Structure 1
Amino acid sequence: MVVTESHKKPQHTVTVSHLAHSEVSLPHSEDVVPSPASDDEDLDYPDGGSVAWRQVVACHFINAMACGYGAAFGIYQLYYTETLKLPAAQISWIGSVQVFLNNLICTVAGRLADAGYARETVMGGSFIALVGTFMTSLATQYWQIFLAQGVCTGIGLGLMFMPTITIISSYFNKRRAFALSLATAGTGTGSIIFPATVQYLIPIIGFPWAVRCAGFVALSMVLIMNVLLKPRLVPRKAGPVVEWPAFKEPPYVIFIAGTFLFFWALYFGYFYVNTYAITVASFSPTSAVSLLLIMNAVGVPTRPIIGYIADTYLGPLNTYILSAITLAITFFAWIAIKTPSTMYAFAIVFGVTNNATQGSFSTALASLTTDPSKMGVRFGMCCTIIAFATVAGPPTAGAIIDFSGGSYVWAQVWAGLVTVLAAITLGVARYWVTGAKLKVKV
């Protein structure tokens, strides 16, 4: 950890730029002993240039597929519920398993990226994801959709996503939060393109060809991203798939616990906003799609803005905690939403708060890793753990809704309370690092 502080005037603001390993824990006192220089500081980061920004563009497209596709499952949730006539909780397992495998495979993908196989991992994941998409267009039964869209596509998207963190973090240091936020803004791009493609083409050419068209859009993204990608770091060939010493670092472990809670509630809003709008706010199926598009569209500018704020003013972890608090408030406010006009307002607010929290998650986790050669595996470990939260979240909400006779109130309360608990847990991780000091950029 690198700490800048006046030793003669401990009341001054402390700036924590990176969090180091647990062996270099920060004393909870006014006199802070600066830690040795981290591995992160020994590297010469471009922090700009045409090659570096091309990686941001490539990773933007990767996130458009890897994250945007999963965030768009609300469209499929609505279509499958109407055509297959199955309970909402059962349908949501398709999207939940997709997101689960997307995160679960990240430990393997992260280690491959650290070992120098970032491009190969992205290419392999791209192929698997495209196969899953086109097989979904041929599926007609629940188990076929589950295997194609849930399992196959989920594995492919997970292999694609993880290397983006390693690649961008190797090119940027001082502007890392901003660069990562620009890349993760691809989630919003993909979450607009894919649901719009499917929803608005279904009445014209039918569901199978609408999904195939989405597959062709994904193929064009795959071609662009694989041409632009250029990993920078020297590969770390030797090393375990799981870095067990990381679990001896209390800030890292507590951070994962808080993030687990956050992702447990996160996808409830994405998966159920359409069905809520139809059943409660008198939306038609076509008009309900616009809510998901709005939620995702506002995320495109939100993520770079939140990245700039984290880099310049607050610090990644502070930004993550504050964003989680605003998201919790939004979940509770959802209870009062009953009309079309308020649903549109909710879609905007939820899109901003949710994307702010997701965008600051990556940068906050990056600040916990001072050795760039371990960036992939440490990110992958975190994502693998939170995979169990993503797979359980929407079905949990669906079960609460079914148990409540179709009422969404208790599911909304559950999501709000879980997100509050996530913010509190993240606050504990921050306290472990900084003590009781408030004016700390961390």
Structure 2
Amino acid sequence: MAEKTPQIDASNTETMFKPINTLRREPTRSEMQDLEIIASAGASFRPGDIPPPPDGGIEAWTQVAMGWIVIFATWGYVNSFGSFQAHYTSTLPQSPFQISWIGSIQVWFTFFGSAFSGRLLDAGFWIPTFLVGAGLQLIGIFMMSLSTSYWHLMITQGVVTGIGGGIIFAPSLALVATYFEKRRGIAIGLVTTGNSLGGTVYPLVVRALLPSIGMPWTARVLGFINLAGFILVAIFMRPRLPPRQTGPIIDWSAFKDTLYVSYVGGLFFFVWSVYYTFYYLASFGQQEVGMSFADSSLITTIINGVGLPTRVLIPVLADRIGPLNTIAPAALCVAVVAYTWVAVHDVAGVYVFSIFYGIASGAFQSLMPTGVASITKRLDTIGTRMGMCFSLVSFAGLSGPPIGGLLQDKSLTGAHIWAALSSTLCAVLLVLARVLKVGWKVNTRC
């Protein structure tokens, strides 16, 4: 007797196959990035398991606020060294060239440490990384208050605070970047305003307190300011993405990426000149045009503070036309202003130069991390590639101020021309990076 063939109720066909139809939809770009992250961690996944970047909301903007505090306490503090340079030049027996090494070492460690700390963020170790870095920076500042010689300051202000800042600054930027996609430029731009405001506030504190309470307690006040901010960061700043357990500290494939190499090369030449300018402009005003210590310290405040509006407005423009389309013209503006330093011979000229240079350099600096994120294809490698970028740039921060100081001992004009040429090379390499990404098309966002 023949078996009956099972019958399928046609009315149930849609219900039976509905889950399959649902799963076969094309995942979005953000979902595909998140799938790569889960796959690299060895987890099972489905499209939609990890939501795309929120691009807003309380949690995301809280990370922006916490990232701002980190940059305020790290790069804001680093950028205020011009005030210390002017003070040390008048109180220590060492030459300005030797004193500039304190700031250069600090910049180098702050940049270089990010190569390792960026990968720690990707691996899921944000909290221990932050606690170690913040702790070291605070130890360096409070030990700086006990320093009585050049070498004491080199170790405390240069080495220890630099290492601490380097451990925490790149992961904080990369962490914020993972919360945003369409608004990433403005989010990172707002975070980097901490650089300008910190570089404005710290010199004002030094200028106000140093003559009245002395160097030891001035340094302690700076330490307590940072401590208060770090407590908030430890409580509220949290990574969004799951850890990527595999992968090297250094992404060697980046060095085969000519776009990445060109971009990092451009940043190198910018940093090479910008910290020479930031560190020496105050002492230039004091020694070359006869400004007092209080007035020359105000120059450090101005050059940092005037960049605050551009750090907010320029990233908004970058979100519309693209980071590379924005940072290359900003580099050209920095170079043009840098060439005018050779014409500065009086107090008014110092003030005018500091204003225009601060505006141009502030615009550029606000786009540095956003540019790295824009040329990084995988979201889960942003921390690693951003850390690599800043660690390579660290050697520019290490050598730039001393080279500029050595050159100006022989020819002040020669040092200023060197800084301007360095900024010009930066602009050329960033234009090259833009061409490598989208070609010579004018109306293309990149």
Tell me, yes or no, whether TM beats 0.5: yes
Structure 2 counterpart SS, 1:267: helix
Give the counterpart of 1:427 among 395, 410, 431. 431
CA distance in 2, matches of 1:299, 1:189: 9
Deviation at 1:80, TM superposition (A): 1.2
Structure 2 counterpart SS, 1:206: helix
CA distance in 1, matches of 2:228, 2:307: 22
CA distance in 1, matches of 2:400, 2:278: 11
CA distance in 2, matches of 1:119, 1:318: 35
CA distance in 2, matches of 1:178, 1:294: 23
Match in the other structure for 1:23: none
Give the counterpart of 1:295 among 299, 303, 325. 303
Instruction: Tell whether the 8 Å contact from 2:86 to 2:296 is kept in structure 1 after alignment.
Output: no
CA distance in 2, matches of 1:101, 1:191: 18
Give the counterpart of 2:325 among 306, 318, 324. 318
Instruction: Tell whether the 8 Å contact from 2:203 to 2:298 is kept in structure 1 after alignment.
Output: no
Match in the other structure for 1:359: 366
Deviation at 1:342, TM superposition (A): 2.5
Identity percentage of aligned residues: 37
- Counterparts of 1:21-420 in structure 2 under 5 Å? 39-40=32-33, 44-312=52-320, 314-404=321-411, 408-420=412-424
Structure 2 counterpart SS, 1:89: helix
Match in the other structure for 1:438: 442
CA distance in 2, matches of 1:432, 1:399: 36
Deviation at 1:341, TM superposition (A): 2.1
Structure 1 counterpart SS, 2:145: helix
Listed one character per residue, the Cα deviations across residues 299-332 of structure 1 (whole Å, up to 9, x for unaligned) are: 22211111001002x3101211111100011111
Instruction: Tell whether the 8 Å contact from 2:244 to 2:380 is kept in structure 1 after alignment.
Output: yes
Listed one character per residue, the Cα deviations across residues 39-70 of structure 1 (whole Å, up to 9, x for unaligned) are: 54876110000010000000001000111111
Deviation at 1:112, TM superposition (A): 0.5
CA distance in 2, matches of 1:41, 1:138: 49
* TM-score using structure 1 length: 0.89
Number of aligned residue pairs: 403
Structure 2 counterpart SS, 1:67: helix
Deviation at 1:339, TM superposition (A): 2.1
- Output the aligned Cα RMSD: 1.4
CA distance in 1, matches of 2:443, 2:34: 23
CA distance in 2, matches of 1:115, 1:332: 44
Which structure has the greater CA radius of gyration?
2
Match in the other structure for 1:24: none
Structure 2 counterpart SS, 1:237: coil
Match in the other structure for 1:31: none
Q: Do the aligned partners of residues 341 and 40 (structure 1) sit closer, same or farther apart at CA in structure 2, a change above 3 Å counting?
A: farther
CA distance in 1, matches of 2:149, 2:290: 29
Deviation at 1:193, TM superposition (A): 1.9
CA distance in 2, matches of 1:186, 1:152: 21
Structure 2 counterpart SS, 1:74: helix
Deviation at 1:85, TM superposition (A): 2.0
Listed one character per residue, the Cα deviations across residues 86-111 of structure 1 (whole Å, up to 9, x for unaligned) are: 11111100100110011111111001
Deviation at 1:37, TM superposition (A): 5.1
CA distance in 2, matches of 1:152, 1:431: 40
Counterpart code for 1:118: W
CA distance in 2, matches of 1:123, 1:45: 26
Deviates more, 1:332-341 or 1:56-65: 332-341
Instruction: Identify unmatched segments of 5+ residues in structure 1.
Output: 1-35
Instruction: Tell whether the 8 Å contact from 1:60 to 1:186 is kept in structure 2 after alignment.
Output: yes
Q: Do the aligned partners of residues 98 and 158 (structure 1) sit closer, same or farther apart at CA in structure 2, a change above 3 Å counting?
A: same
CA distance in 2, matches of 1:189, 1:118: 25
Instruction: Identify unmatched segments of 5+ residues in structure 2.
Output: 1-27, 36-50
CA distance in 2, matches of 1:40, 1:53: 22
Instruction: Tell whether the 8 Å contact from 2:62 to 2:237 is kept in structure 1 after alignment.
Output: yes
CA distance in 2, matches of 1:81, 1:376: 38
Deviates more, 1:339-348 or 1:200-209: 339-348
* TM-score using structure 2 length: 0.88
Deviates more, 1:83-92 or 1:171-180: 83-92
CA distance in 2, matches of 1:157, 1:103: 8
CA distance in 2, matches of 1:115, 1:41: 15
Instruction: Tell whether the 8 Å contact from 1:110 to 1:376 is kept in structure 2 after alignment.
Output: yes
CA distance in 1, matches of 2:380, 2:138: 30
